[in-house]
Amino acid sequence: MKRPFYETHGDLTHENKMKTILEAKWNCTLNKLPLKYQLDWMAMRGKDPMAFVEFKHREKLSIGAYPRYMMSLDKWIKARQLTKELQIPFIMVITFADGTYYGVFAHNGVHDLRFMFGGRVDRNDNQDLEPMVLLPLDKFIKLEKL
C-alpha cells in the first residue's frame, strides 16, 4: 500500500515564504529538490552548491519547549550522505512561535546528537514511528529579520 502524502497547501505556503526570506538573507537561490532527496532545497550561490536545507514550520511550539528537535533518522542519514558527497553543510531551519532558528550541521562535525525510537502519534499512521535523531536546539541560531 502506498504511503499517504501529508504535505498540505498551507505547508507549501509557509515553505515558499521562508524560501524568499532565506534567499534574501543568505544571498543564495534555493532550488526545490525532488522527493527522492528527502530534503527541501539545495542552496546555490551562482553555480556553486552552498548547503542542503530542510524547513519545518512549528509556530505553535516555542523553541524552549524541548531541548532537542526530533527528526527522522532516515532523513538525517540522507542529509549526511549528500553533504559528505558534496562537502557542504546541512542546514535545518525551524519556525517556532518565538522566531525562526537554524542549525548548521557539517558532514564531518560532532553535533551532540541523541537517538531514540519515536515520532508522530497524532495521525494514527504506524509508519510515523521510527528511529529518530534528536538535534540539540541550543546549537540553533535565531534568524534575524531583514
Condensed to tens digits (0 to 9), the pLDDT of residues 36-55 reads 999 999 999 999 999 999 99
> Is residue 135 predicted with pLDDT exceeding 80?
yes
Calpha distance 47→72 (Å, rounded): 30
Q: What is the pLDDT of residue 124?
A: 82
> pTM of the predicted model, to two decimals?
0.90
C-beta contacts of 35-38 below 8 A and 24+ residues apart: 37/78, 37/82, 38/74, 38/75, 38/78, 38/79
3-state secondary structure of 34: coil
CA distance 59 to 124: 22
* Predicted confidence (pLDDT) at residue 144 exceeds the cutoff of 90: no
